[in-house]
Structure 1
Amino acid sequence: MVKIKWHRSDSIGSTNSYLRELNGGDPGFDFEVAAADFQTAGRGQQGNKWESQAGKNLLFSILAHPANIKASEQFLISEAIALAVLDSVTQVVEPGLAGDFSVKWPNDIYWKDYKIAGILIENTLQGNLILDSVVGVGLNVNQELFLSDAPNPMSLKNITGQDFDRNCLLEDIVKRFIGYMEMVSDADTASDVDVSSGLGKESVERLYHSRLYRREGWHRFRDAAGCFEARIEGVRTNGLLLLETRSGEQRAYEFKQVQFILPEKE
């Protein structure tokens, strides 16, 4: 049985930083979760600040100890948490809305062209394996008004008009994440969430690819050379995004090397 240690707080600097300071955590637990109603120093990718109204959203991090995941395969953790969040939010909205949720590479969660969740992952390596992984999630749940200059924030309440139980969402996401981690890391623990009929890393990768934002058709992108049109060919095991341009050129990008050009707000 999976053992989870919970750390809950009204306010904290950063849930990721809190778990990192545990120096590997409590050896008596398989996972540790830090959750807060408010973060004074919440972070997104590459130091970006994450806006969240106190007591309205989910702000949490998970400390995991992946079994047998190579450093070169660390993107599997990104796929696992993205799918866990996506599964959870699509289960709580009406079926007619669920199909508009997707994963924007590498691991943002989108509804249509709007961002509802961001993820920050920090790994500690031991040789060529991952020793510890701190997986931070910010999910917009019940906030209605966003004041930052972020281009496209959205919450579940904005989408549905309903309030959601944040604790139920949190516990569901954590259980689903554990299930996906068991699939990709050869863990010998047993979760009580059936996340897929398939088994193993390949199944998780295929599921992730099938739920990518803009996974079909031609779309506009921007790299260091300028704007161009391309379609998504897939994502490599190491996380590189594969694009094919209109001229048939194959391109591979690391995170931040290419941007999706989003529609202008009306």
Structure 2
Amino acid sequence: MMPCPDTFPFPLVALEETISTNQYISQLCNNLQESVEELTTVTAEFQTSGKGQRGNTWEAEEGKNLLFSFVLYPTFLEARRQFILSQIVSLSIKEELEMWTGDITIKWPNDIYWKNKKICGILIENDLSGHFIGRSISGIGININQDEFHSDAPNPVSLKQITGREYDRYEILARILKRVQTYYNCLQSEDPDTYSALIATRYARSLFRRRGLHPYEDANGKFLARLLRVENDGRFILEDESGKEREYLFKEVQYIL
């Protein structure tokens, strides 16, 4: 059942179907003369061309999952700090899903995993204004009540598959957005550096395969490495078996699952 926009705690556009919630909210922001309020959210029961990272599509059975996008205007954030938006969105989802099941982690940069399976994908599109971020749109797909997956995606899982329970999708959505709001407000506080460090620490503690040696692959082939850290700008730092540090930007290295 779709929520009533009048009672949802954030401005909401609830659609039966759209090409992409990211595309819809982007056009909404571009077309309206008055600014669309922060945390305005567009949901869809079905997306015909939902986008994921690396140009992938997102499989979601109609009416079973959460497909949504929301907008922020973090004009106080320098462009070089944009990775912190990815951190607060992924932490908000990870911490909410942890209310319903264990073994939830963040697979760098911002996929959400249950054990070795993917439960959520996130695509964040930032528009820059000079050296600052003018607008940020987060597009998110979370597998909630889907019973089976039929695409060639290697490792999807839903909350229902994990626990055997059916969930109120929009209760979970409201709670995620409240978590995002709390983190976001902290970034605008009188002590943003302290909160940024706290967010970075929570993110580091939440990472997938954060301990031990694990297989990866880059342009030069497969290798074993341990995670050292993720830098504030999002760079992924590994240490391979020989003790050599390897530094990667997004899409330059892949986990081998």
3-state DSSP class of the match of 1:23?
helix
The answer for unaligned runs of 5 or more in structure 1 is 189-197
Which of 41, 44, 63 aligns to 1:36? It is 44
Paired AA for residue 140 in structure 2 = V
For 1:219-260, what per-residue CA distance to the aligned partner results, in whole angstroms no more than 9, with x for missing partners?
110001111110001111111100011111111101111011
1:217 equivalent in structure 2: 212
After superposition, the Cα gap between the structure-2 partners of 1:121 and 1:28, relative to the gap in structure 1 and judged at 3 Å, is: closer
2:186 equivalent in structure 1: 183
Q: Is the 8 A contact 2:41 2:71 kept in 1?
A: yes
Q: After TM superposition, list the pairs within 5 Å mapping 1:61-210 onto structure 2.
A: 61-93=69-101, 98=102, 100-184=103-187, 186=188, 200-210=195-205
TM-score with structure 2 length normalisation?
A: 0.91
User: Which of 119-128 and 24-33 deviates more?
Assistant: 24-33
After superposition, the Cα gap between the structure-2 partners of 1:187 and 1:10, relative to the gap in structure 1 and judged at 3 Å, is: farther
For 1:177-229, what per-residue CA distance to the aligned partner results, in whole angstroms no more than 9, with x for missing partners?
11112223x169xxxxxxxxx95111001100110000011111000111111
In structure 1, how many angstroms separate the alpha carbons of the residues matched to 2:22 and 2:194? 29
Which of 11, 17, 35 aligns to 1:5? It is 11
After superposition, the Cα gap between the structure-2 partners of 1:75 and 1:62, relative to the gap in structure 1 and judged at 3 Å, is: same
Give the Å deviation of 1:92. 2.3
In structure 2, how many angstroms separate the alpha carbons of the residues matched to 1:13 and 1:151? 24
Give the Å deviation of 1:67. 4.0
In structure 2, how many angstroms separate the alpha carbons of the residues matched to 1:162 and 1:4? 26
In structure 1, how many angstroms separate the alpha carbons of the residues matched to 2:68 and 2:39? 13
In structure 2, how many angstroms separate the alpha carbons of the residues matched to 1:101 and 1:6? 27
Verify: 1:241 aligned to 2:236, yes or no: yes
The answer for unaligned runs of 5 or more in structure 2 is 1-8
3-state DSSP class of the match of 1:29?
coil
In structure 2, how many angstroms separate the alpha carbons of the residues matched to 1:47 and 1:228? 25
Q: Is the 8 A contact 2:54 2:251 kept in 1?
A: no
Identity %: 42
Paired AA for residue 147 in structure 1 = H
In structure 2, how many angstroms separate the alpha carbons of the residues matched to 1:125 and 1:4? 25
Number of paired residues?
A: 245
Give the Å deviation of 1:28. 6.4
3-state DSSP class of the match of 1:171?
helix
Give the Å deviation of 1:144. 1.1
Paired AA for residue 5 in structure 1 = P
Aligned-residue CA RMSD (Å): 1.6
In structure 2, how many angstroms separate the alpha carbons of the residues matched to 1:111 and 1:82? 13
Give the Å deviation of 1:12. 1.1
In structure 2, how many angstroms separate the alpha carbons of the residues matched to 1:19 and 1:45? 18
3-state DSSP class of the match of 2:15?
strand
After superposition, the Cα gap between the structure-2 partners of 1:175 and 1:13, relative to the gap in structure 1 and judged at 3 Å, is: same
1:191 equivalent in structure 2: none
In structure 2, how many angstroms separate the alpha carbons of the residues matched to 1:163 and 1:154? 14
In structure 2, how many angstroms separate the alpha carbons of the residues matched to 1:66 and 1:106? 20
Q: Is the 8 A contact 2:109 2:250 kept in 1?
A: yes
In structure 2, how many angstroms separate the alpha carbons of the residues matched to 1:187 and 1:55? 38
Give the Å deviation of 1:117. 0.2
In structure 1, how many angstroms separate the alpha carbons of the residues matched to 2:19 and 2:177? 21
Give the Å deviation of 1:31. 2.2
Q: Is the 8 A contact 1:69 1:129 kept in 2?
A: yes
